[in-house]
Structure 1
Amino acid sequence: MIDLLIQQLIDQAIAAALIEKEDEVYARNQMLSLLHTADFKELELLAEANREEIPDILEGIVEFACRQGIIEDIFDEKEIFASKIMNCLIARPSTVNRLFFEKYQQSPEAATEYFYKLSKDSNYIQMKRIRNNIEYKVPTEYGELDITINLSKPEKDPKSIAREREAKQTAYPKCLLCVENEGYAGRIGHPARSNHRMIRVNLQDQTWYLQYSPYVYYNEHCIVLSEKHTDMKISPDSFRRLLSFVEQFPHYFLGSNADLPIVGGSILSHDHYQGGNYEFAMAKAEDDWTFKIADFPEVQGSVVKWPMSVIRLRSKETVALVEAGTHILQKWKAYSDEIVGIYAWTEETPHNTITPIARKRGDVFELDLVLRNNRTSEDHPLGIFHPHADVHHIKKENIGLIEVMGLAVLPARLKNELVEVENYILGRETAMAAYHLDWAEELKSQYGTAANEENIAAIVREEVGKKFLRVLEDAGVFKRDEEGRAGFERFIRTL
């Protein structure tokens, strides 16, 4: 049985161009060593119709290792072992980088297509798990928002959780984004990365590293990370790097989370950006109104029609964009307007920052600057410009770069909870969470007998999308009403 699984995996690796036919014996021996066996019965190449996909074959090999007592049947050990098996079938980082840049000579698209396929075929991007996500779009006045209920990260078993608590703490790698994760076997509490590869990219005469997110939320969802473990910081250098990247990879966008708690991403301890080959609703959003900045005549400015407060700068000259973006960043960091509740400081604590996003359209570069403020209050202890309490039953977490652009990453709990909301609206027996009650009552009153078995799922999905729109509106520093428009104009005049 294990011989068959090994042969299947090798056949699929050759078919996916992970290895070549000449590598077959070497790769097999590497796997046999991990499986603590020196015996192998050669088998005929399996017919195409009988071949399983790589993740399924891998699961079979991991289960064999558990049965043989090679590894313990707990989540982290199985992940580490699966990653080690796949590492037998992937080239070293130097070879991957050489092939990437050979393909880059054909086109940037050819290079990223190669690396994205490698990252999926090697099971580093776990597409089988990602397919469990619930994904759909909801039309709004701002365009179609993307909704994702994240089901791709499997829940750990109690034994894994207990082992994680007991595990000895180590500072290597310092975090999940450090370059030292490339090829790292993993440990209890730190993900397996034996099958992980990174591309070295030159940004402003520094080496940065391109990788894909192991749990992609959109097409070619990539991460570009600093070689050094340094804190996130939005600066003129950030703008230079973002624009340098999209100049080299014009089919990708690249953006950064903000650099302050509440409005920043989940990892603020390592400078990094996120990008990919995908056009979000925000990127498609039209200009609401335009303006010029006297000191930067080569740059066209606009305020974007979007629930959050977005300034879009356009120019053919990246230097001019960086200078204009820096001017706005510096003005915003020091800006207060008590009429709309914006304060730049509380004593020594700064509150204003920016979420920047760069892209290229033809020969024109765009730099979107999303204005952020992380102040809290008694009424809004998690953040004034953060999802408010009445939407926490859907989304309570920080609004980072991906959400800013119009993609909701919602918690896995909603998969079952929304079914119970549907039951409540239809008057069926339900175990609905109490925090959904007010919302469910509203929907029941709104839709009444118009809701039925056929349309209830679509109704609830659309209403979740409307809640996410509210989340974005809450996070906007200048609201899209008369007072907010006047406030935004006051800020623009300071430029």
Structure 2
Amino acid sequence: MIQEKILELVKYGLTTGLVDKEDEVYTINRLLELFKVDDIEDETFEKAADLPDWTQDEAESRLEDILSDMMSYAYDNGLMSENSIVYRDLFDTKIMGCLVSPPSAIRAEFNRLYKEESPLAATDYFYKLSCDSNYIRRQRIKKDLKWTTDTEFGTLDITINLSKPEKDPKAIAAAKNAKQSAYPKCQLCKENEGYAGRVNHPARQNHRIIPVTINNSDWFFQYSPYVYYNEHCIVFNSKHTPMKIERATFGKLLDFVTQFPHYFVGSNADLPIVGGSILSHDHFQGGHYTFAMAKAPIEKELIFKGFEDVKAGIVKWPMSVIRIKAADKERLIELADRILCAWRGYTDEEAFIFAETDGEPHNTITPIARKRGGDFELDLVLRNNITTEEHPLGVYHPHAHLHHIKKENIGLIEVMGLAVLPARLKGEMAELKDAILTGKDLRSTKTLESHADWAEGFMKKYDKIDETNIDGIINEEIGLVFNEVLKCAGVYKCTKEGREAFERFVGYVNK
């Protein structure tokens, strides 16, 4: 069986372009070594040769089953110590690593396509390779639940993330007992490329990264293994250095979209609560996608003194966004830096904006860059991470009555209008759906009770809720909760008082 599966996997590699025809025998032999098999019988080769060719789609659909059979063989023959998701992920990555060309070859092809064809051709090649190598696990990502919800601010994207597997108890125990290593220092470091992994760090033999120079500094470009939107990429510093929003950040973002004008790129903020999940390694996120925030219009035009040549305005968005636009990148960098420096030190007690308390800074910015026609555009999202007794997780953070749906940080992706919701909601919404349809007490279980106030509130809005419309209703209402989440995260609310306070800050910048 394993001989047949090796030939099937190599056929997958040849079909997708991962394996060059001249490397076919070499790849077969690498896989034989991995599975500790000495040879392949002639009749097995003959049987494989008689099979019809596959299309790209057929190859994609077969990969999961091929790898599953290979891992079952590996466990049965003592090549895998545990037959669980963590150990299977470590081993199937090792398998796929046998099919992926070395970094030098991939970088050379990327650079050739960039120079001879276009930046789009280069990223198309690299994204397809990242998918075909199973670094981006397409079959898992298909399990994510996705839909949209229309709001007064535009169409929000909603996803329940089911693609990232949960660790099993044995793997958690093994990770706890495993020797702690500082190599790689984190999951973003360049040392991950080709790394075998361990129970407390993912395998990356099938992972490749592309060097990029932005703003005269050395960075790398890769894709996120669990893409939340089209061509979700990560751009990360070559050095393991903490996140920092500063003048140079704007230069790096704008330099990246100069080189890859079909992508947007943005940075999480550099403070806890309002920042991303990894603050220890400076990085950006981007991709080939247009979020609702990018489509949102200017609500009020602004003029910044000394920058009359730069178009500016407050964006019609639940979070507090200043959009600046110009053909000259340097003018945008100058103005963005002025706004950032002003915001870092800005306090407005009436609006409950405090630059710092007890020496702890609270103000920062989430910046996003894009190219629009001949102009460069920066969206500067004002953030503040102050906490109070009433809101211990953050005043400008999802408030407690929304935690049953979204409790986690509002990072760059959410800021732009895509909700990344926890996997627990799939089961919880199924339980809620059953309770609503059967008339069950909405406070009869702990799970139902957490959603009861919300459900009782939205049920009043509908004349009829039954099997034909309940899924759409629940999805719609989850989307509306995310809309409220974004309103919570806005430092200036979309009210008369909020906009007056927002303009006070603009006046402060102009002073």
Fold shared by both chains (TM-score > 0.5) = yes
Q: Does residue 440 of structure 1 match 2:455?
A: yes
What residue is the counterpart of 1:60 in the other structure? 69
What residue is the counterpart of 2:202 in the other structure? 191
What residue is the counterpart of 2:25 in the other structure? 25
Native 8 Å contact 2:388 2:394 kept in 1: yes
1:253-402 map, 5 Å: 253-402=264-413
Question: Could you tell me which amino acid in structure 2 is paired with residue 187 of structure 1?
Answer: R
Separation of aligned partners in 1, 2:306 and 2:31: 63
**Unaligned runs of at least 5 residues, structure 1:** none
Give SS of 1:85's match: helix
1:98-247 map, 5 Å: 98-105=108-115, 106-247=117-258
Separation of aligned partners in 2, 1:154 and 1:428: 33
Question: Could you tell me which amino acid in structure 2 is paired with residue 64 of structure 1?
Answer: Y
Separation of aligned partners in 2, 1:55 and 1:243: 39
> Of 408, 425, 437, which residue of structure 1 is paired with 2:419?
408
Separation of aligned partners in 2, 1:258 and 1:245: 18
Instruction: Tell me by how many angstroms 1:160 deviates.
Output: 1.1
Separation of aligned partners in 2, 1:6 and 1:47: 17
Residues 151-209 of structure 1, C-alpha deviations (whole Å, 9 max, x = no match): 00112222111111111111110001111101100001100101100000111222210
Q: Does residue 424 of structure 1 match 2:441?
A: no
My pick for the range that moved more, 287-296 or 105-114, is 287-296
What residue is the counterpart of 1:472 in the other structure? 486
Native 8 Å contact 1:424 1:440 kept in 2: no
What residue is the counterpart of 2:471 in the other structure? 457
Give SS of 1:450's match: coil
Separation of aligned partners in 2, 1:67 and 1:128: 24
Instruction: Tell me by how many angstroms 1:211 deviates.
Output: 0.4
Residues 406-440 of structure 1, C-alpha deviations (whole Å, 9 max, x = no match): 00000001001112222233344475432111111
Instruction: Tell me by how many angstroms 1:451 deviates.
Output: 1.1
Native 8 Å contact 1:76 1:187 kept in 2: no
Native 8 Å contact 2:85 2:165 kept in 1: no
Identity of aligned residues (%): 54
Q: Does residue 4 of structure 1 match 2:4?
A: yes
Separation of aligned partners in 2, 1:428 and 1:200: 58
Give SS of 1:424's match: helix
Pairwise CA RMSD of aligned residues?
A: 1.2
Give SS of 1:278's match: coil
Instruction: Tell me by how many angstroms 1:269 deviates.
Output: 0.2
Q: Does residue 38 of structure 1 match 2:15?
A: no
Separation of aligned partners in 1, 2:405 and 2:21: 50
Native 8 Å contact 1:55 1:123 kept in 2: no
What residue is the counterpart of 1:48 in the other structure? 53
Question: Could you tell me which amino acid in structure 2 is paired with residue 178 of structure 1?
Answer: C
Give SS of 2:461's match: helix
Instruction: Tell me by how many angstroms 1:328 deviates.
Output: 0.1
> Of 68, 83, 86, which residue of structure 1 is paired with 2:96?
86
My pick for the range that moved more, 271-280 or 48-57, is 48-57
Question: Could you tell me which amino acid in structure 2 is paired with residue 67 of structure 1?
Answer: D
Give SS of 2:480's match: helix
Instruction: Tell me by how many angstroms 1:276 deviates.
Output: 0.1
What residue is the counterpart of 1:490 in the other structure? 504
Native 8 Å contact 1:387 1:472 kept in 2: yes
Native 8 Å contact 1:425 1:443 kept in 2: no
Give SS of 2:148's match: strand
Q: TM-score, normalised by structure 1?
A: 0.98
For these two proteins, the number of residue pairs brought into alignment is: 494
Separation of aligned partners in 1, 2:164 and 2:302: 44
Instruction: Tell me by how many angstroms 1:323 deviates.
Output: 0.4
Residues 237-271 of structure 1, C-alpha deviations (whole Å, 9 max, x = no match): 11000000000000000000000000000000000
Separation of aligned partners in 1, 2:20 and 2:158: 40
Give SS of 1:192's match: coil
Q: TM-score, normalised by structure 2?
A: 0.95
Native 8 Å contact 1:308 1:476 kept in 2: yes
Q: Does residue 74 of structure 1 match 2:84?
A: yes
**Unaligned runs of at least 5 residues, structure 2:** none
Separation of aligned partners in 1, 2:241 and 2:136: 26
Native 8 Å contact 2:86 2:168 kept in 1: no
Instruction: Tell me by how many angstroms 1:452 deviates.
Output: 1.3
Native 8 Å contact 2:365 2:383 kept in 1: yes
Residues 126-154 of structure 1, C-alpha deviations (whole Å, 9 max, x = no match): 01100000000001111110000000011
Residues 21-58 of structure 1, C-alpha deviations (whole Å, 9 max, x = no match): 11011001111111011121224332236865223212
Question: Could you tell me which amino acid in structure 2 is paired with residue 450 of structure 1?
Answer: K
Give SS of 1:250's match: coil
